[in-house]
Structure 1
Amino acid sequence: MTVRIPTLPLREKWPHYMRLMRLDRPIGSFLLLWPTLWALWFAAGGFPSIGNLIVFVLGVFMMRAAGCAINDFADRDWDGAVERTHQRPLATGAIQPREAIVLFLLLSLAAFSMVVLFTNRLTLYLSFGGLALAFIYPFMKRYTHLPQLFLGAAFSWAIPMAWAAQADQLSRLTWLVFTANVLWTVAYDTFYAMVDRDDDLKVGIKSTAILFGEADRLIIGIMQALTVVVLFMVGHQCGRGVWFNLGLVAMASLFVYQQHLVRHRDRQACFRAFLNNNWAGFAVFVGLVLDYALH
């Protein structure tokens, strides 16, 4: 049963705002950060400009916080019925829906201002697509069993933006990295959806975990394998060597471990598999940095 909290003074709401933006749970920010950094390093052919690095690291954290605010706004009528989310600030009434909308707009405006002030015209044009994806993704679970695909596009849109900011152009490699990251995001967010599958079925929320059914592990495994293959193709075409490939081996090994974790589809094990993807993205980033530094 959801407990409603009386309206709080502004000074007492800050902890709830922090929770709304998931500042206490930065895993989503890291999952968004690693592919953004991949794109910057690939586009620069090594260490990117300090300005772009600062803009995109800050932008990642701002837009992830904005995405969490609009996500909780979209899910406010369902979160109270789901075990994992019933204590979120909008579900309890600690924060009002209009406050989540204002927070989403302020964070989006702050991130957009950095793009306008510190990047180029191509990145600016691309930013409108990223904002649209961030806004529409949370509502897709009402209409389609593929909200994870929309999340994949939203989480991957920083890749062409970062590439454009660094190289002032996009290439076929940009979209290969984008494709790899969409596959990876759908895979790990399906693990996440598996945690809530029973609750989602009761309240009518759609997800790939429900769509895939008993084939969930197989389909996730195929997407994980394709992620590694596509990233290997990118590395090969960019002339990357042993360090980058070792990063991919580490990612693949972690994917095998994740499959082992979810073999019984236990909720906590599925959540641990989801969290483990932070290390998979980090491994590829470290391999990429070392390869450019030592090659």
Structure 2
Amino acid sequence: MSAATARVADSTGNWVDTHAPLWLRPYLRLSRFDRPIGSWLLLMPCWWSAALAAGIARDVSSLPLVIALFFIGAFVMRGAGCAWNDITDRDLDASVERTRSRPLPAGQISVTQALAFLVLQALIGLAVLLQFNRFAILTGIASLVIVAIYPFMKRITWWPQVVLGLAFSWGALMGFAVTLGRIDLTAVVLYAGSISWVIGYDTIYAHQDAEDDALIGIKSTARLFGERTHLALSVFYPVAVVLIGIALALGGARWPAWIGLIAFAAHLVWQIRRLDIRDGALCLRLFKSNRDAGLLLFAGLLVDAVMRSIT
């Protein structure tokens, strides 16, 4: 099998494998366009905050554009982040069964080519960011510090999921920065709730690699919690729900948003009950299901924002 047609081990049968031009496939795999779940999870806090902020402002006129711009920005910036992660982790990825077929450790593209594709995606992200106000632009740029250091955290701390949460939840601040031109207590509490959610779902994800990570000395909350993962999730997921609920209360949310939060919470309970940390395939499915959990909450916030804008 050629380098262009070789597939990543845990991603098969997707549009990249079946429809993308052969020369482009390694780049799309590098940025996980064959596995968009990470982009969706990055997007969810952006959409939550955009809808909540629009509800506070009682104005949804710009919300469709903000939603669309956040969608583009989340996908290209997650792609750029994955490229950076793979560049820094290329030697480690070669030692892990699930990741050794990624484009860089598999030799499908060079580090220089990966850097070039990273820059291209970052420029698209910058073009999106420049559509917003100055405060939002500066807020978005500030997130790059966290993104830059994240790949190194798994080497030095048992809690790299916290740093991932700081990065992946940044959108909870961006919606307020874009719509209201400020970051207030409501935004900060929503951000904290999202961080707790990210720690939970990425712990589930990390259980896929726990054995390989132990062999090569990579740290994670999956390895830290081990058999106590259900207990840990029973802390982080409820904390996420409570903090997001406080944000809704601070933002004056109405009943549709609360129904969305209840549905979100019920989904998290289902994940905890269903989880078997020894079943890697199940861990991946539960991790991916967090997109649906996030969309349930967003749907409630969106209906709430529309209702508040017309009454």
Q: TM-score, normalised by structure 1?
A: 0.91
Whether contact under 8 Å (1:147, 1:207) holds in the other structure is yes
Structure 1 stretches of 4+ moved >3 Å: 3-6
Kindly provide the amino acid, as one letter, of the partner of residue 146 in structure 1: W
Give the alignment of 1:128-207 within 5 angstroms.
Answer: 128-207=141-220
Moved more, 98-107 or 204-213: 98-107
Shift of 1:225: 0.4
Whether contact under 8 Å (1:83, 1:199) holds in the other structure is yes
Q: Distance in 1 between matches of 2:305 and 2:68?
A: 20
- Give identity over the alignment, percent: 37
Kindly provide the amino acid, as one letter, of the partner of residue 54 in structure 1: A
SS in 2 for 1:87: coil
Higher relative contact order (CA 8 A, sep 6+): 2
Counterpart of 2:15 in structure 1 is: none
Q: Distance in 1 between matches of 2:266 and 2:140?
A: 34
Give the alignment of 1:209-220 within 5 angstroms.
Answer: 209-220=222-233
Moved more, 123-132 or 201-210: 123-132
Q: Deviations over 1:158-198 (max 9, x none)?
A: 22223111111111001011001110011100101011101
SS in 2 for 1:81: coil
Q: Distance in 1 between matches of 2:67 and 2:247?
A: 21
Q: Distance in 1 between matches of 2:205 and 2:26?
A: 23
Counterpart of 2:133 in structure 1 is: 120
Shift of 1:216: 1.8
Q: Deviations over 1:239-284 (max 9, x none)?
A: 2232222211211211121112224532112111111111110110
Counterpart of 1:249 in structure 2 is: 262
Q: Distance in 1 between matches of 2:248 and 2:23?
A: 46
SS in 2 for 1:90: coil
Choose which of 42, 56, 61 in structure 2 pairs with 1:32. Answer: 42
Moved more, 201-210 or 99-108: 99-108
Q: Distance in 2 between matches of 1:287 and 1:160?
A: 19
- 5+ residue gaps, structure 2: 7-20
Counterpart of 2:54 in structure 1 is: 44
Moved more, 188-197 or 43-52: 43-52
Q: Distance in 2 between matches of 1:110 and 1:211?
A: 37
Query: Aligned residues, how many?
Result: 289
Whether contact under 8 Å (1:261, 1:270) holds in the other structure is no
Kindly provide the amino acid, as one letter, of the partner of residue 83 in structure 1: E
- 5+ residue gaps, structure 1: none
Counterpart of 2:112 in structure 1 is: 98
Q: Distance in 1 between matches of 2:213 and 2:284?
A: 15
Q: Distance in 2 between matches of 1:133 and 1:109?
A: 18
Structure 1 72/253 Cα, relative in aligned 2: closer, same or farther at 3 Å?
same
- Asked if 1:275 is matched to 2:288, the reply is yes
- Asked if 1:62 is matched to 2:76, the reply is yes
Whether contact under 8 Å (2:52, 2:253) holds in the other structure is no
Whether contact under 8 Å (2:98, 2:209) holds in the other structure is yes
Q: Deviations over 1:128-158 (max 9, x none)?
A: 2212222221121112111111111111112
Choose which of 89, 96, 118 in structure 2 pairs with 1:82. Answer: 96
